[in-house]
Chain A
């Protein structure tokens, strides 16, 4: 495996991570280093383990029945499966946005404040600020600022997706995971989400499963090519998309299979 390792301290490190659903391996011996302030795009054909990889990073994979993990995942050098790590706290540090937006059956505002209110008491003023800053960062504030008490389900699909991003940003996470966040979106909504992500990169680590190779190359600083649970190639995105080292990566990005 060709693993271009950027020097410096990594935010997230995966050491020999494998994941099984029952006897079926979904990920095989993944080694990956993700740094702060960069967007890592994980791409590959369906069933290659991309979503599983994301869910391991904030231990949502714990919810999978008969799921089994091998290897270790380090966040700031600390194994996230250590007994003294609170999975609740981990999930606020590593937030995730799903492919299909699931607004909770609450108002727009309550969706954004849901995560913060789970943790500790906050003044209304603080919450107001958090709602505005989160929605602004998710490029949704201007569209919803006058209708915050309305049900979140009244929003369009693209707006719901950005609301789900805002909901995660309100957790004030360090790492943001996005699982095909633009799969159901029109090009304009997609552009808005991508712009939001590029701005968020300044203060977060972002791991995204893009919905196609083009998106991976547009916004990824690094790119990882997964194939049948195997990490085929990982490195600087530009290089992977122009001069891939592995012939399988080349075949995939040039559309010879997929």
Chain B
């Protein structure tokens, strides 16, 4: 076969362009389909009323609030730990068997299936620590699951800050910690926030980790404390899609639409933060 290299170039270019475009297709289809099916269910009542008549009528208010609480709970448990660990790894830790072990643990943590986290949360938080099925147990479980994402994105954001800033800080008589607080962390903050939001967004959409630790099948009221169970959007979606006979389809897709909007809004927020700071960045 004697195809000219220019033809080969065109063929290769066509293939990779097709690949790039086809990546977008599923996303567009998923969003388009859910919006088309679910938009009819949306109303103020749908997001502000409790479910009625075996969840076949009414709204999803308790599930929406529950997911909001779980997201906040996840943030509270995972951000300090994750950002702290990342600062340690990026700024203080020397390369030793100890830090290599920590890194290996983080990589493995990222690979654990989410349902295993759920089971782990059930064993540790719900049963052993006697938190019961509760927002606390669910937040801790989701928090641990989110840790690897937060640690790795935070570490990348810190490492991306030029080394010369650290040397300048030291040369002006600054301690490592002063350099981190005054220069490195502020510069890395947009990257850290982006990573944190992306991690939380994933947690907000997870079903398996909350299945055994917090999610209520049907609890038509708001939670009273962190020791209370709550409904949550992903699990509610699972329930009304598979467990309730005679469920109107538009309510299922309406719920999916709200969950997707919740997650995509966080995604958008992360993008906006990144864009805003990238424009202001001076290096």
Contact = CB atoms under 8 A, between A and B. Distances in A.
Interface of A: 58, 60, 63, 88-89, 91-92, 95-96, 98, 100, 102, 104-106, 114-115, 118-119, 151, 153, 167-168, 171
A119 B178 CA distance: 10
Contacts of A119: 173
B175 A88 contact: yes
A58 B171 CA distance: 8
21 contacts: A60-B167, A63-B170, A88-B175, A91-B170, A91-B173, A92-B173, A95-B171, A95-B172, A102-B167, A102-B168, A104-B169, A105-B183, A105-B282, A106-B183, A114-B169, A114-B172, A115-B172, A115-B173, A115-B174, A118-B182, A153-B283
B170 A102 contact: no
Interface in B60-92: none
B187 interface: yes
A249 B271 CA distance: 59
B174 A118 contact: yes
B33 interface: no
Nearest 10 A-B pairs (CB), nearest first? A115-B172, A92-B173, A153-B282, A102-B164, A91-B173, A105-B282, A118-B174, A88-B173, A96-B171, A102-B168
A104 B173 contact: no
B168 A168 contact: no
B238 interface: no
A118 B172 contact: yes
B13 interface: no
Interface of B: 162, 164-165, 167-175, 178, 182-183, 186-187, 281-283
A114 B182 CA distance: 9
A75 to B, nearest CB: 14
B139 to A, nearest CB: 35
Per DSSP, chain A at the interface is helix
Given A60-B167, A105-B165, A105-B283, A168 B187 contact: no
A45 to B, nearest CB: 24
B181 to A, nearest CB: 10
A168 B172 contact: yes
Contacts of B174: 88, 114-115, 118
Nearest to A173: B173
A117 B172 CA distance: 10
A159 to B, nearest CB: 15
Given A114-B182, A118-B178, A153-B283, A104 B165 contact: yes
Contacts of A168: 172
A118 B162 CA distance: 20
Contacts of B175: 88, 118
Given A102-B165, A105-B165, A105-B282, A60 B183 contact: no
Given A151-B282, A153-B282, A92 B170 contact: no
Nearest to A110: B182
